[in-house]
Structure 1
Amino acid sequence: MDFEDQILFFFSAVGAFNGLFLSYYFAFIIKERNRANYFLATLLFVISVRVTKSVFLTFYSETSSLFIQVGLTACFLIGPFLYLYTRTVTKPESIGKWNWLLHILPIIVFMTVTGILYPYNEHWYLWQRGHDGILGYMLLFQWTLYLFVSIYQVRFSFSKLVDKTEKPSNLDYWIINIVVGCFLIWLAYNTVQYTSYIVGALSFSFTLYISLMVWFFKRRQHSLSFLSPVIKYKNKAIPDTEALSIADRLPHLFIEEKIHLNSDLKLLDVAKQLETNQHTLSQYLNDTMGQNFSNFVNSYRVESAIEMLQSNKVLTIEGIGNECGFKSNTSFYAAFKKHKGMTPAQFKKSLN
C-alpha cells in the first residue's frame, strides 16, 4: 500500500470509527433517548458499516463474502433509516410502534436470501452498474427514492432558511445538516468511480462535523433536548367549553373589529380580549388552525391588503401594507407571497 492509499485508508477508517462512536452515543449515552435518536444512531451505524465494507473491499481483496454482504445490506438500509429519522422528527406520531419494521425487515430478508443464492465474490457483476448489474440498479433506485422522500419530509426546515418571517430553530439546522450530509454521500456514491475513497472521506467529514455540532450545542445549551421531536401540548387538551368560547369570539375580533390592523398586536393582547391565557390561545391556533399566532394574524392582514388592492386607487402598495398592520415592506411581501403564492405587485397587475 503506497503513501496515498495509506492516507485514503486512514481518513476512511477514521470516518467509519467516528460514525460508530456517534451511533453508540445517540443510542446509549445521550439523555434524551427516544425513537428519533435511535433511528439517527442506526443511520450513522449503517453508514459506518457501508464505509468499512468499501475500505476493506478496496484494500484487502480477500475480504470475506459474508462481510461484504453485511456492508451491502447496510447500503440498502441508509435510505430507510434516513426516512424514518426525518419522519419521526417532523411528525412524531405518524409512525406506529412497529410500523417502522415494514421498511427494514423486507430488506434484511431480501439481502439474506441474495447473499445465500448469489454471494458477492462469485456474482460481483450483479452489483456493477453495467449490463447485468440488476442489484446495483436496485440499490440506486431504492436509495434515491428514500433520499428524496426524506428531503420532502423536511422541506419546511429548508424553506425557513429563506423565509424572512420565520427563523429556523436549532432542530431545523440539525436535520438540515443530517440530510445534506447524507445527500453528499449519496451523490459521491452515484457519481464518482472510486466511491470507497470519496465516500470514506465524506463520511469522515460528515461524522466529524456532526461531532463538532454535538460539542458546540452541549457547550451552549448544556443539553441536546432540541434533538428530540417535541409533541406540542401533548396530553394537554383544551376543555371543550373553552375551545368553543375561543372559536365563537376569535373571528369577531378579526373580522368585525379588525384588530389585526394594529401592527403592535401581540398574542397576549388577543388572549386578554378572549379572557384566556396566551398558552391556551397558542395551543388552540396550533391544534385547530394548524398555524402559529404570527401566521394566523398575517393571513387576516393579507386578506385586508387584497381588499385594498382591489379598491384603493390612492395608496401605494407599500402604503397598503402599512395600513394593514405590517411593520415593513419586507414582511408584507413575504407574508403575501406565502399566503397567495405571488407578490402584491403581481396580484395588482393581475387585476388589470
Structure 2
Amino acid sequence: MEISGAFLAVILEAILSFFLIKKEDSKKNIFLILYIVTVTLDFLCEYFLFSFGNRNTFLIDQYPTSFRLLKGPLLFLVGRHLLNRNNTWKQYLHFLPFFVVFIFNIIVLFIGTESQRFHQFYLWIFKVYPFYWAGYLIVTIVGQVRGRSSGNKFQKLFVQFLCFVLASVTGYLICGYGRLIDGEVLRMIYTFSFFVQFVFLIRLTQVDNQPLKTDGFNSTNVNEAPVTKESQRKNTKYRTSVLSQDYVTNTNNRLIELLKNKKIYTKEDLSLDDVSNMIHISKNHLSQCISEGLHTTFYDLINKYRIEAFIEQINQNPELQISELYFHCGFRSKATFYKYFKQETGVNPNDYRKKILKEKELQQLN
C-alpha cells in the first residue's frame, strides 16, 4: 500500500473522530478536538508534500510541519482539566514553540536550502521533537497518576491512551535511530498507530457519559444541606455517577468560594453556563456536583445566597426599600424573591422588615 493511502486513511478517520467527539458537551473535549485537528493538519501537510514531491518521502523529511509541536501541550491541558486545575495565561506559553517553529516553516519554504546553516538548525529542531513530545507525555502521565481519583473511568482510560502514545513514540525512536526498520515502513506503522489513538479518543467521550455505580457520597466540605425527600427526588437522575467524591467536593468548594468571596450571585442573569466557564468544567458535571454534594439545584443554591445577602443588608439598613435591596442582591423578579424569602425564613419580606424596624425603635428608646 502506498504511503499516500495511509495518510488519506488517517485523515478520514480523524475527521470521523472529530464529529463524534464534537457532539459531547465538555470543556476538556475542546482540547481533544484541537488535538485531532492538529493531527489532521499535520497529515494533510505531509500528504501534499508527498504529492508535490513526486510520491517521494524526501520532502517530508526536509520540510516537517510545525503542527506536531501542538500535540504535547494540548494533551497536557486535558490533563489539567481532569485534575480540576485552572489554566492561567502562563499555561498557554506551552504553545510558544509552535509559533516560533511555524515562522521557521514559512522562512524555510521560501528560502529552501539557500541558507544551509539555517536549514540545518531547522532540521535539528525536528530531531529533538520526539524527545519534546515524549517529555510532555511523561509529565502528563505522572500528573494523572499522582492525582488519580478512584472511580474516574475517564481518567483511567486517558492514562492508558497516553501510555499507548508514549509507547508509539518510544518505539519510533528506537527503531528509527537504531535503523531496525526501513524508514518508509516505520513511517507507515507510526501513521497507522493514529487509528488506535482515535479509537481511544472516541471511547473516552463514551466513558465520560457512561454511568458508574457508586454507593453515593455521605459528606462534603461545604455547606452541606440535609437530605430530604425533595432533594432525593432531584438527585434521582444522578443515582449512578462517573464523578469521584474528591472531584465533587473540590468542584463544590470552588463554587462556594466564588459565591462567598466573589459574590457572583449578584449578577441578575447568572446562569449555569457562566459558572461552569468560571471553574472550567462542563455544565452537566457542575449540575451533577451540586446535586450530589450539596443536595440542591443550581438555581436554588444561587437564590439561597441571594436571600442571605438580602437579610444581612436589611438587618443593617431596614429603612431602605425592599425592592432596592433584592435587586441589588441579584433578584430580578419580585415573585421569585418573595417565594425564596418565605421558603428560607417562613415569613414574608414586609413582616420581616417591620420586625427589624420595631426592634431598632425599641433599642433607641432603651
TM-score with structure 1 setting the length: 0.49
Higher RCO (CA-CA < 8 Å; seq separation 6+): 1
Return the index of the structure with the highest Cα Rg. Answer: 2
TM-score with structure 2 setting the length: 0.48
